[in-house]
Structure formats: structure tokens, C-alpha cells
Structure 1
Amino acid sequence: MAGRAYLDWNATAPMRAAARAATVVALDAGNPSSVHAEGRAARAVVERARAEVAAAVGATPRQIVFTSGATEANALALSPGLELCDGHAHRDGLAVSAIEHPSVLRGHRFGTLPVETVAVDCDGVAQPATVAEALARLVARGAVRPLVSVMLANNETGVIQPVAAIASAVHAAGGLLHVDAVQALGRIPLDFRGLGADLMTVSSHKIGGPKGAGALVVGPRVAHIASPLIGGGGQEQGRRAGTENVPAIAGFGAAAAEAVAELAVAADRMLGLRRHLAERLLAAAPDALELGAAVPRLPNTVAVSLKGLSAETSVIAFDLSGVAISAGSACSSGKVAASHVVEAMGHPGLAGSTLRFSIGSTTTEADLDRAIGVWRTVVGALANRQGKAA
């Protein structure tokens, strides 16, 4: 729709021209597992994209396992069947932070094995000491080779987690660390080695690549994934069978390369826009709460809660006024539900009253001003209803 303001980049980013071009060119590619010229050409496309994604996340190409998206990559990682190079086989317990994406909270494969939840503080941060407490609870339940999953940046609030410190705590307890870095890629510098994670998930469509491609980054401590989700022909080093989605992977690589190349300039610009937006949202509703405002956050995300506000009807009001925003994670096929992230932060009364604004590299100040105008209307209508009720 012409003239709309798109402020839901955390759900999906508009496709980059470079990614679109790379995807279209690769539509006629052969099977990358074939040994003839057409197959070798397709393999070259996949391996170039693998190198581009690896460079974007601070890993080596061999550490990149392409999947159909982040949900699959998370499910592949969150399995007891992770074997280490030092001979320690299989994970016997899992700890996940309370603010993880549903694909982590409900998508793991630990079945009847012990699972613990890592609480977050009022700012939405999973502290290393709290992770250690969850690990101690796992030990008490007989789990001595745990897997821990903590996201790098939250999809609803943008709050950045102290992953490097958490990695130290996890490794000291003999565990492995998985990090969902889907929202971080392209918005903050991302260094897999520097984070100290053992496994990391990234996604194509969050950075302007095509949907249908993601990757699991596998660190050097993980020798083998004994229970891949998809078995078969041995593609992706035996970790994910099936013919690779060459067009989507090509677009993913192009998007990753461009996102990293423009990161410094884009991040500064987004931060300025985020501040502009937050200041005006709060000026129009002084009683509103900006979630995570006191801690490091992504430069593109603003989450605001206002008591009495219906997130569901507000999202519809914004949409009808030509502004696309969200009430949380875009993972439920249009369903707007109370935010488990807001609840975990200690604000259960605001879990159904929180809106997320997420911006990107092409967002303009005019887009934000349009959203601010709708926000004033929504807030004014709320105040009018509350005044009549009183």
C-alpha cells in the first residue's frame, strides 16, 4: 500500500535489492550435490553464500549449516544428541531463558529430560548468576552435561544479553551454550568466537534476505549432532539432509554481506531515529513504560507499555492508519497474545498492553512522525474511555 509506514522490521525486513538479484539469478541453478558443470556451479553459489554468512557472524565457512530458517536451526541445536570433541557425549539437561522465542521455549527436543527456566530481571536481562542458579538446579536433578540457550537480543524489547559472561558460567559448569542471534545480525557487531557460544542461530529474512533460509553456526567444541532433524543424503556435513535451497541461500549471503558492510552507518542512524521515536511516544503518554530503557538494547527497537491499552486493537488501529507495528513476536500467524517476555520482566498487568516499534535502514523520520500521530490518537481515545469510566 502506497504511503504506508513499515515499522515491523523485527518481524521481517523488506528484501534488499542485492538479495533479490542474487535470488533471481540462482533460480535456474542446478543441484549442488551433482558433479556435472551445472551442479558445480550451484555448489559454488552455495559456498560463496556460506563464506558471506560466515564473515558476517565471525565464524569459518565450515561452521555454517544452512537450514530452512531460524526455527529449524534452533530445533536442530536444542537436542540432547550433541557430542563434544573431548568425548563427552550427549546433553542430559536444558536451561532456557524465560524470554526466548517460542521456537526455543517449545521447540527443543529434551522430552522427559530435566529442563529449567532462567529468570530475567525487571530490565529483561538474564544475569550470569541466575544462569548459574539454573545450572545448579539441573545438577540437583541429575543433569551434569547441560545445554543452555540464551538469545543475544530480544525480539520484543531489543534488550541485549551478557552472552560472553553467560558463556563463561556455562562452560565452568561443563555445559554448552546456544545463542539465538536472529535479531542481532545486521544491527550490532556479531562475533561468534568473541561471544564464546558453542552454537548460534541466524536468519535470512530478518536482514533483508529471502524467507526460507537460516543457519546454525556450530563451534569447534561440538564434534557431532547425533540426532539431526532431517536425515538422508548427507548434505550440510551430514547435519541437515536435503537439497539446499540455492536461491534463498544465495539471497541470504548477499543480504549478510550488505548488512555488515553498512552496519556502522545504519546502526548510528537507527539509534537516532529510535531516540526520536521513544521521546515522542513518552511525551504523548507520560504514564507509558519504555521496556529495557536502562540497559543496552538494539538500536532499532522500542517497546512501550501503557496500562489499559489493548495491544490487539491498537495494532489494528495503526494498520488502518497505514502504519505496520507489532504487539510482540510475529510467530503466531496473526494472533495477538499477551507477551511472555513482558510477564517474565515482572509486568504481568502490561503483557497485553505492549506495542513494539522496530525500524530499519530505510525508515524515515516521516515514517516515525506518522506513527507518533496514530499513537497520540490511540492514547487520547484510551484516556477518553478511562475518563468516562471514572
Structure 2
Amino acid sequence: MSEACAGDELYFDANASEPLRPEAHQAALEGLALTGNPSSVHSQGRQARQALDKARRQVAELFQRPEDACIFTSGATEANAAAIYGFRELARLEGRSDHVLVGATEHQAVRQAAPDADLVPVGPDGRHDLAALENLLVGENGSPPALLCVMAANNETGVVSDLPAIAALCVRCQVPLHVDAAQAAGRMKLPLAALENASLALSGHKAGGLAGAGALLLPAAMASSPFPPFMKGGGQEQGRRGGTPPLVAIMAMAAALEAASQQDWQKVRTLRQTMAKAMRRVGAIIQGPAQGGEGTMLPNTLSVTVPGLSAQAQLMALDLAGICVSSGSACSSGKVGSSPVLAAMGLGPAARQTLRISLPWNVQPKQVERFMEVWHAMVARHQSQQAPRCQP
């Protein structure tokens, strides 16, 4: 299957979309051979239903949920929106506040689904301020919010949230927790025991599957309960998400998540750490927790600031050298601008001098070596231009 480079190009933008995994490719081919609609009762429909049920079992088992807790969607964006809509509707039906809290560094899929939400601040390392969170969870006049939304790991910086501590606060304050696990699923071990009362959003293509499939995993206690549908339609997904399920993409997602969960990510983490050390030696700043070890950072992600060198100039120089990286979320219409995530971390002007490098699952050491050669040359040119010159 595809390497991390196509021809002479290097693809280091895996957080936007991972290269297709062989297991997902094979699952997609099997899905393409199926004709029926999973909702049809004839033989072709039953074969499609069996494939859909198998994929649901795979995903549910990976995240220790009952099969009925898994609602297939078109992606993590829809899964996040469905969770926010559903929990708010449940709160309204029960006469509770439908107010929502979201982390200040959340993906726009969450921010736009709850534009009136209060933000949970983060520190300079990108991790949530737990004291501020606890105050927000208590709520004004003792009225707790309907939902808290946080990312398992940030798509721009790779910073991993302290999910056990956050989940414990939610249990104590009796506030439902929703976790956007699109970037973390398969790349790290999620604290599933601590998250047994939380809902999770998953993405297929972020794990090496096809775009077009995702999942919302409800807490086990809600597996068989009605959940207000964000997408209304023909009653698919037990009436909790309308529309014919994208079977081929779902099968690929299940295979990709399983393969990603079985991968040894230490090799990728070691390459990331080697890059970070080399970058720091020439004055670059790595955003996130100082140590950047397992449990605090994704194994594949670097958020790198080169003081004085704009992200746009870096992107152009690397692109001309055949290297694909980004300056932030790939869901921002291709714009190169200041990142709300980095702004929430207090970076100020440095936010416009920061790149995201996200290594793909199949990255090779020789590809990292080539990237570092190009990156070092770019930084050296910039630093030589900034050096003071003697006056004649």
C-alpha cells in the first residue's frame, strides 16, 4: 500500500487524513462486492446487514461498549454534532439546563455545534485548567451544564487531555461527558475504564480508513435507550440516525481502527522525539507539555514554532521541496491563518509562526531524515537573514 511519500513527495499531514491501511483497503473491496441495502429483508440485504453488524461488533469491542451503543455516522464531525444535539435534547426533555461546556482548544466541529457554549480554559501547555473546569461544572446557582465536550488529543498540537481527572470531575458533578477521540483512537490507549460513562466520537479516515464514516459511541448504560436523532430519516441505527449507512466506508473504518489499535506506535514516537530534539537545538519551540512523553502527547504529532518565520513562508518552502505539512486544522477551508487553538494557549504572534507535523502510520526513518535535511536548510536560511550584519 501507499508509503508516507508518493514518488518524491513526503506526506507528513496524517492528522488531516491517514494513508489508507491495507486492512482497510481489503475491507473496502469486500464491501464493494456487496449490493444490498442493510435495511432490506431479501438475501442481498441480509448479506449487507451481516457485514454492517460485524463492523459494529469490531468497533464496539475495541472500545469496550455493547454493540447497541455504537451509532454509525458520516464522520467525527457528525458524531460530535449528534452528541451535542442529543444530550441537549435530553436535558430539555427533563427540564434541565441545556447549557454546554467545551474545551477552549476544541475542534471547530464541536465549537460550531455549540456556538453558545462556555469555554474551559487551558494552560500554556494546552492542557485543561482543572480548577476552572470544576467551577464551571458546578454551574451557576447550582445548575450544572447538560454536557462537557473535550478532545482526547488535540488535532493541531497532539496534546493529550487528562481524561481520568476530567471524567472523575464529571462523575462527581453529575455532568455527562463527551470525548472527541478522532485523533486519539488507535494511536494511543484510551483510559476506557475511566470513560465508561462518557460518549466517544470516532473517525474512519483519521485511523487509515476511508473518509465518509464515523461513529458515536454512547455510554453502556444508554446502549438500549432512545437517543434524540440529529439526522432524522428512515429509522436506521435503531431510530438514532437516519439515512442509509455508508457500508463500504464503515467496513474500512472498523478494519482501520483494529489495525491501528494493534500497531506498535513506539517506533513512530521515537522518530517524533528525535525530530523534536533536533529542532530544539537550533532554537525551534515545541508546543505542548515540556517532556512530551507517552500519556501527554500523541506519538506522531509535533507543533513547531520557528521564531520570526511565518507559517505561510514555511509551508511554501516545504511544499516547493515536495513536503506536505499544515499550519493547523485541515477543516478550516484551506486557509493559512492564526490558530484559535494556539491562541487559547497564549502563543500570541508566535501562533502565526507554527506548523503542525503529523507523521503517518507507515512513516520510515529515511523519510524523517529527508524532512529534517530540508527543514534544517530552511531554518538556516532564515536565521542567516536575521543575523546582524557589520556596517562598513
Q: 1:83 is matched by which residue type in structure 2?
A: L
Residue 123 of structure 1 contacts residue 294 of structure 1 at CA under 8 Å; is this kept in 2? no
User: Is 2:99 the partner of 1:101?
Assistant: no
CA distance in 1, matches of 2:89, 2:171: 15
When structure 1 is superposed on structure 2, of 201-210 and 307-316 the one drifting more is 307-316
Residue 23 of structure 1 contacts residue 250 of structure 1 at CA under 8 Å; is this kept in 2? yes
CA distance in 1, matches of 2:57, 2:357: 32
Structure 1 residues 242-281: aligned runs within 5 Å: 242-262=243-263, 265=264, 267-281=265-279
User: Is 2:117 the partner of 1:121?
Assistant: no
Q: Normalising by structure 1, what TM-score?
A: 0.91
Identity of aligned residues (%): 37
Structure 1 residues 126-145: aligned runs within 5 Å: 126-136=128-138, 138-140=139-141, 143-145=143-145
- The offset of 1:213, in angstroms, is 0.3
CA distance in 2, matches of 1:156, 1:49: 29
- The offset of 1:364, in angstroms, is 0.9
Deviations 1:149-197 (A, max 9, x none): 0111111111111112111212222211000011111111135443244
Structure 1 residues 270-349: aligned runs within 5 Å: 270-283=268-281, 285-295=282-292, 296-349=296-349
Structure 1 residues 358-373: aligned runs within 5 Å: 358-373=358-373
When structure 1 is superposed on structure 2, of 44-53 and 360-369 the one drifting more is 360-369
CA distance in 2, matches of 1:32, 1:231: 17
CA distance in 1, matches of 2:239, 2:193: 23
- The offset of 1:388, in angstroms, is 6.6
- The offset of 1:90, in angstroms, is 5.7
- The offset of 1:268, in angstroms, is 1.1
Q: Structure 1 stretches of 5 or more lacking a match?
A: none
User: Is 2:58 the partner of 1:52?
Assistant: yes
Aligned residues: CA RMSD: 2.1
Residue 19 of structure 2 contacts residue 361 of structure 2 at CA under 8 Å; is this kept in 1? no
Q: Which residue does the alignment assign to 1:41?
A: 47
Q: 2:52 is matched by which residue type in structure 1?
A: V
CA distance in 2, matches of 1:22, 1:5: 26
Structure 1 residues 67-86: aligned runs within 5 Å: 67-79=73-85, 80-83=87-90
Q: 1:281 is matched by which residue type in structure 2?
A: M
Deviations 1:27-46 (A, max 9, x none): 23310000111001001111
Alpha-carbon distance change, 194 to 278 in structure 1, aligned in 2, over 3 angstroms: same
CA distance in 1, matches of 2:35, 2:312: 43
Residue 192 of structure 1 contacts residue 200 of structure 1 at CA under 8 Å; is this kept in 2? no
CA distance in 2, matches of 1:52, 1:201: 15
Alpha-carbon distance change, 91 to 19 in structure 1, aligned in 2, over 3 angstroms: farther
Q: 1:198 is matched by which residue type in structure 2?
A: A
Alpha-carbon distance change, 60 to 339 in structure 1, aligned in 2, over 3 angstroms: same
Q: Which residue does the alignment assign to 1:26?
A: 31
Residue 204 of structure 1 contacts residue 214 of structure 1 at CA under 8 Å; is this kept in 2? yes
Count of residues in Structure 1 that have an aligned counterpart in Structure 2: 377
CA distance in 1, matches of 2:271, 2:98: 45
CA distance in 1, matches of 2:81, 2:372: 38
CA distance in 2, matches of 1:39, 1:192: 34
SS in 1 for 2:119: strand
- The offset of 1:127, in angstroms, is 3.4
Deviations 1:51-97 (A, max 9, x none): 1111222222211110000001111011254538xx94665211111
